[in-house]
Amino acid sequence: MGNTPPGATSDETDLLLDVRGLTKTFGTLTACDRVDLDIAKGEIHALLGENGAGKSTLVKMLFGTLTPNSGEIRWNGRPVAIRSPGEARRLGIGMVFQHFSLFEALTAAENIALSLDARTPISQIAERARTLSVNYGLPLDPDAHVGDLSVGERQRIEIIRCLLQEPQLIILDEPTSVLTPQEADKLFETLERLRGEGKSILYISHRLEEVQRICDRATVLRHGKVVAHCNPREQTPASLATMMVGSSVHEVKREAAQAATGAVLIEIANLSQPAKTPFAMPLKNISLSVRASEVVGIAGVAGNGQGEFFEAVSGEVRQAAGTIRIRGVDAGLLGISGRRLLGAGFVPEERLGHGAVPGMKLSENMLLARHKSDARAFLRGGALGVIDRSAVEATTQRVIKEMDVRKSAEDPEASALSGGNLQKFIIGRELDRTPSVLVVNQPTWGVDAGAAARIRQALIDLTRNGSAVIVISQDLDELFEISDRIAVMSHGEMSATIPIAEATREKIGLLMGGADEAARAH
Amino acid sequence: MRLELVKRPQHSKLFSALSPFIAFALTVIAGAILFALLGKSPTAALYAYFIAPLTEVWSLHELAIKAAPLILIAVGLSVCFLSNNWNIGAEGQFVIGAVTGAMLPILYPALQQSMAAMPLMLVMGALGGAAYAAIPAFLKARFNTNEILTSLMLVYVAQLFLDYLVRGPWRDPAAMNFPQAPRFTGYAVLPEMMPMDGRANAGIIFAVVAAVLVWLLLNRMLKGFEVKVIGMSPRAGRFAGFSTTRMIFFSFLLSGALAGLAGISEVAGAIGRLQPSISPGYGFAAIIVAFLGRLNPLGIIAAGLLLALTYLGGEAAQISVGVSDKVVRALQGLLLFFVLACDTLIHYRIRFVSAVRDATEAKGNV
């Protein structure tokens, strides 16, 4: 099974949490198979694994939202059954979720009050939150409305909410996926301080550098089984990745960046758009052109206008004439179908419910994005628009094969696929028609390492055929890996692009934090 | 022992098809218990309800007459409901369709002698129903009003308008002050199919043709795909380049037209004239039919016949067994309840967890 856990032989009383042989099955799928995990007091313990490796299932069992089929959980040496999140909290287990559960229209303190059982007055909660935020170096104004806060600040609310319950074990689920490098550094300081106080942290991540930097031990899951307990500092990112994936991750190959001289395929000029809801981001005077054979990356912390930018460029929200030109044709007034007919392809961030209809089959989801661009192949009967199912299905199977989409049935519903496999399908659906312009939002968000590498390689390969690609991503590693130029979105504005040779993490990180004056002068 | 619902990875095709039948079987069992509690013989009552109306030819004709408007309306509603547009006002569109269709024989009685009368009346009825449905559609598209409320309220407007017409300007002078319009004659009467056997008219043919056409639309054409995408995920629909606004109008106009067609068919067929009340709530019962038929037009044909049967059976049972006609409502309610409950089986399977295994599991948790 792997190495022996270093902590296994130490004195039992040092162990805060000791999990033995925890198993959870869903139907025929064993999501967690005899998982062992132990966490000492005052330890930051990493839980590593690809998507679908069983991390969430394991954590849900620890937090009481799922009941294990068998196995044992010992807390401070005493066997316990955790039947509900309330019980987990009473034991001293706190959790900070990856997707925040905050009401945007309420203040930070009000949000915190909602999750506390006792009827403590808001002013008292605000006071305690303020004290905690000072003590742990998590600057936060309890009276601020959540809607006005950045993602990093929202996460702080979640962390403070968790700390107010004085937990002994804090579970953090992918905490840095939405933070700027600077914000992440702050978070790490807080975590170290908590460790210094003897609190334990279970840190779930697939960012190997972070795990090596702050975690004392790591437990690696693959296909629901523990493949290794190790000290991440004694490993290399490559060896950790190999443990997670089970084979070495294939590196993206690309030619050295060179100044692109091809034709401008998509040109965005002075694109502005007012905010549609109090919580949406306006777009402010965005200009960007991308040439053939070029990948332009757009970095930025989530919620800085990337979603609005995507919808404006895709034509889901129509724009003024002249703001967007695709292959030289003014596409501002065109809807998404018109822009597709000009040769553009789009991959939105949300897979289920935006890029695909969850309850529809893959072949129907093929038709979703291509009924207009491939009308000649997919439809018969002229105005009647009779669907040629065999043609749609053949194309679907071609994409499935090309992108190595793994599925349980011949033509399953989109919701039956794992996130990574559905993303491979959605990207493959566009690549299959070789779009001359491809705009992708968060191509590998929540996708496991193997699939992510495949997706990135596919994007690079597309530019070899002379296409222009815009990649919007929060993952800086990804952008540095595939982009020729990088621009940063912050508060609805876009910085000038920085050629990859001149881009550094510090530069981009500062721009992400909103300090784009220097770049604007450029 | 306890029961657990386990989510299926894929929805079950088998149970999609079986669920209405299981529901019907459960309704029959529950109905038998109900009759037994009322002190009636369950077998006699069930026979009167579900078998007796099927044993005589004239009664089958009545079944077709009752089923036709239910099916026509429900088929249109299925397009609405699938696209997430909640048209609850089919009853009103039915009435307005009857009124606009009846304009021809009432205002231009001479035209009743022309072969073109019936086709014109049908077209006018459909257009009238569609126009009336366009009101809630426009309000929803333009002002984002709740179409459930607006379409429902317009039902009462339509009913009172009809009431006004037949008591006022359109009252038949020869009707001894009865509030009714003149009887249609000549080509303005919907022809009966087999006049020797019973009253069934061409309405049931319209219903079946409409069901087949809408089935083709929903299952074979891009437009039907658009209906389903917008209903299941409006945001994905926008990504596909489909317009939700256009879909509001499409679904309301289509269902309004079919309800209007049902309305004019009813007054030109079974009733033969306009009168204050022309529908025993077909527009509302069709909502049940649409869901019983799983929003599938072919399923709706069967569901429409079944619901029509409970109407007829209710009348028969009232006479032969002596149960209240309110029992019909109870049976219809049970049927709807069981259908919705059985639909759970499409997405979930039931697992029996034995007490013994339960205990060992609990032990494992400690």
pLDDT value of residue B166: 94
Task: Give B-chain residues touching A367 at CB under 8 angstroms.
Answer: 222, 225
User: Which of A172-181, A338-347, B162-171, B234-243 is predicted with the least confidence, judged by mean pLDDT?
Assistant: A172-181
What distances in angstroms separate CA A263 from CA A231, A256, A292, one per listed residue? Answer: 51, 19, 6
Say yes or no for a CB contact (<8 Å) between A316 and B232.
no
CA distance A101 to A99: 7
Substitution target in B83, B218, B223, B233 with the highest count of A β-carbons within 10 Å is B233
pLDDT value of residue B328: 79
Query: What residue in B sits closest to A25 (Cα-Cα)?
Result: B6
Say yes or no for a CB contact (<8 Å) between B6 and A27.
yes
In a domain? residue B237: yes
Instruction: List the domain range (segments joined by +) for residue B148.
Output: 65-302
First CA to last CA distance, chain A? 55
Each residue of B74-92: pLDDT tens digit?
999 999 999 999 999 999 9
**B237 to chain A, minimum CA–CA distance in Å?**
8
Task: Give A-chain residues touching B241 at CB under 8 angstroms.
Answer: 335-337, 340, 372
CB atoms within 10 A of CB A325: 18
Say yes or no for a CB contact (<8 Å) between A385 and B222.
yes
Interface of B with A in 327-366 (CB under 8 A): 361-362, 364-366
In a domain? residue B42: no
CA distance B284 to B69: 11
User: Which of A211-225, B30-44, B147-161, B312-326 is predicted with the least confidence, judged by mean pLDDT?
Assistant: B312-326
Interface of B with A in 188-207 (CB under 8 A): none
Say yes or no for a CB contact (<8 Å) between B361 and A387.
no
**B243 to chain A, minimum CA–CA distance in Å?**
10
Each residue of B112-142: pLDDT tens digit?
999 999 999 999 999 999 999 999 999 999 9
Query: What are the CB-based long-range contacts (under 8 Å, 24+) for B27-35?
Result: B27/B331, B27/B334, B27/B335, B27/B338, B30/B334, B30/B338, B31/B331, B31/B334, B34/B327, B34/B330, B34/B331, B34/B334, B35/B321, B35/B323
In a domain? residue B297: yes
Say yes or no for a CB contact (<8 Å) between A371 and B222.
yes
Say yes or no for a CB contact (<8 Å) between A379 and B229.
no
Say yes or no for a CB contact (<8 Å) between A387 and B221.
yes
Say yes or no for a CB contact (<8 Å) between A371 and B229.
no
* Interface size, chain A vs chain B, as Cβ–Cβ contacts under 8 Å: 87
Say yes or no for a CB contact (<8 Å) between A369 and B240.
yes
**A276 to chain B, minimum CA–CA distance in Å?**
16
> What residue spans of chain B are helical by DSSP H?
13-37, 42-46, 57-82, 90-107, 117-143, 147-167, 203-220, 222-232, 234-239, 244-266, 282-292, 297-320, 326-342, 344-347, 355-365
In a domain? residue B335: no
CB atoms within 10 A of CB A13: 9
Look at B233 and B18; give whichever has higher pLDDT.
B233
Asked if residues A263 and A487 have their Cβ atoms less than 8 Å apart, the reply is no
CA distance A415 to A298: 28
Say yes or no for a CB contact (<8 Å) between B9 and A316.
no
Give the count of domains, chain B: 1
CA distance B109 to B182: 10
Q: Under an 8 Å CB criterion, which residues of A touch B? A: 26-27, 67-72, 79-81, 314, 316, 335-337, 340, 346, 348, 350, 353-360, 364, 367-369, 371-372, 379, 381, 384-387, 408-409, 412-413, 416
Q: Does B144 touch chain A (CB under 8 A)?
A: no
Each residue of A63-99: pLDDT tens digit?
888 889 999 999 998 999 888 888 888 899 988 876 6
List the pLDDT tens digit at each of the 522 positions of chain A: 344 444 444 444 578 999 999 998 877 678 888 999 999 999 999 998 876 678 888 988 998 888 899 999 999 989 998 888 888 888 999 888 766 678 888 888 888 888 776 677 888 888 888 888 888 777 788 888 887 777 778 888 888 888 888 899 999 887 876 677 777 888 888 899 889 988 999 998 777 778 888 999 999 988 888 988 999 888 887 788 778 776 655 566 666 555 567 889 999 999 999 987 766 788 999 999 999 999 999 998 777 889 899 999 999 988 888 899 999 999 989 999 999 999 999 999 888 889 999 989 999 999 999 999 999 999 988 888 999 999 999 999 999 999 888 887 888 889 888 778 899 999 999 999 999 999 999 998 777 777 888 899 999 999 988 899 999 998 788 898 899 999 999 888 999 999 988 888 778 877 876 654 444 444
In a domain? residue B212: yes
β-pairing, A468-472 with A294-299?
parallel
Single-letter code of the amino acid located at B199: R
Considering CB atoms only, which of A335, A385, A386 is closest to B241? A335
What is the pTM for the complete model shown? 0.76
In a domain? residue B96: yes
Say yes or no for a CB contact (<8 Å) between A340 and B241.
yes
Say yes or no for a CB contact (<8 Å) between A385 and B221.
yes
Task: Give A-chain residues touching B228 at CB under 8 angstroms.
Answer: 360
**A389 to chain B, minimum CA–CA distance in Å?**
9
Among A167, A187, A158, smallest CA distance to A99 is for: A158
Say yes or no for a CB contact (<8 Å) between B225 and A364.
yes
Asked if residues B165 and B274 have their Cβ atoms less than 8 Å apart, the reply is yes
CA distance A21 to B255: 58
**A367 to chain B, minimum CA–CA distance in Å?**
9
Say yes or no for a CB contact (<8 Å) between A369 and B239.
yes
Residue A491: which residues within 8 A CB-CB, separation 6 or more? Answer: A281, A284, A304, A305, A514
β-pairing, A264-273 with A44-48?
unpaired
pLDDT value of residue A520: 46
In a domain? residue B134: yes
**B16 to chain A, minimum CA–CA distance in Å?**
14
In a domain? residue B10: no
Count of alpha carbons within 13 angstroms of residue B159, beta-carbon side: 16
pLDDT value of residue B303: 92
Highest mean pLDDT among A147-156, A278-287, B42-51, B227-236: B227-236
CA distance A310 to A468: 15
Say yes or no for a CB contact (<8 Å) between B9 and A336.
no
**A335 to chain B, minimum CA–CA distance in Å?**
7
